[in-house]
Amino acid sequence: MSNPTGPAEPLGPYALTTTTTEEDTMTVINPHPVRGVDPQHGQELDPYEVRDDFGGRELSLLDALETESIHIFREVTAELERPVLLFSGGKDSVVMLHLARKAFWPGPVPFPVMHVDTGHNFPEVLEYRDRVVEQYGLRLVVASVQDYIDDGRLSERADGTRNQLQTRPLLDAIQSNRFDAVYGGGRRDEEKARAKERVVSLRDEFGQWDPRNQRPELWNLYNPRHRPGEHVRAFPLSNWTELDVWRYIAREQIDLPSLYYAHEREVFERDGMLLGRNPYLPAREDEAVHTQMVRYRTVGDMSCTGAVASDAVDAEAVVTEVAATTITERGATRADDRVTEAAMEDRKKEGYF
């Protein structure tokens, strides 16, 4: 049956152009091509192309990941009453927000964003966070570690880092705002404790994670139901890798904080990492400070997040750089994950992201 039509009317700025021909095939072309070979047809194709030949549908990797993430946002938001998205201004949370905007377009994002502010955040990231919140008209909830230190509910650690102090302010903010679903940017390729976690992960009435109490997620069916006092964490980027994230950033032309790209910074070496000189992390007498071209692969507390030597000044250059790396960004640049072999899992059991 043939029904030739012209291009469909666009549904919004995120809509793709579809064309139906006499052969009943549909082709959707992304404007950022990276060439490849179609194994079924033996011809060179754009891997971002979506083809439907006689009922069979093929998606590129990025399109499949995007579709899965949007599905997670829509399913969990429809099931629960008070979701919130963790938004630090880091690349994963930025991509999550981009996907959430796509999921609910043309309406606004139907939930607030929350940042657990350690007080030791990079100024470039805080400036970016506030600019994005204002640009998209989002409601921002800030849980401040500094407030907890000031009133005595938390104490500074001997090593000066504050990433490990984020758990209590996070859990208190979830409870006081009655959030029942918390979207996080964790990915399974980052760290082995995160690799264990389901896309929708139950937290008990104390906000704790039990790795033995994980629900099956066959056929992408998610179960966010929980008892009063409990909540779920949902991870729309679970199946993404760092390379996928950067390829998507390049394809979608997503704006990021400037420190994700190569820039000059005063650094010194400690425990095999390049640490940026800052008020919270002074260099020791035997640590020589020098200026070097670096960028950050991940963003956390300034006192425990390292940089990497780099000359990648744009997303395409970062894609090339990440494709050649053999260690995850947390393994390469996060001192807080090196405390013990199970440092991340221990913190997650206490209620960490």
Task: Write out the chain's pLDDT in tens, 353 residues.
Answer: 444 444 444 444 444 434 343 434 333 334 344 444 445 555 555 444 445 454 556 789 999 999 999 999 999 999 999 999 999 999 999 999 999 999 999 999 999 999 999 999 999 999 999 999 999 999 999 999 999 999 999 999 888 888 889 999 999 999 999 999 999 998 988 877 777 889 999 988 888 888 888 888 888 889 998 989 999 999 999 999 999 999 999 999 999 999 999 999 999 998 888 898 888 888 888 899 999 999 999 888 888 888 999 999 999 999 999 999 887 775 555 544 444 455 656 666 665 66
Please report the sign of the dihedral spanned by the C-alpha atoms of residue 161, residue 164, residue 166, residue 168.
Answer: negative
Report the pLDDT value the prediction gives residue 325, as an integer from 0 to 100. 85
Per-residue confidence (pLDDT) for residue 15, from 0 to 100? 43
CA 42 to each of CA 37, 39, 109, 231: distance values in angstroms, whole numbers, following the listed order: 6, 5, 42, 48
Domains (ranges, CATH) in the chain? 1-58 (no CATH), 63-241 (3.40.50.620), 258-336 (no CATH)
What CA–CA distance (Å, rounded) separates 316 from 244?
12
| CA distance linking residue 88 with residue 69, whole number of Å | 19
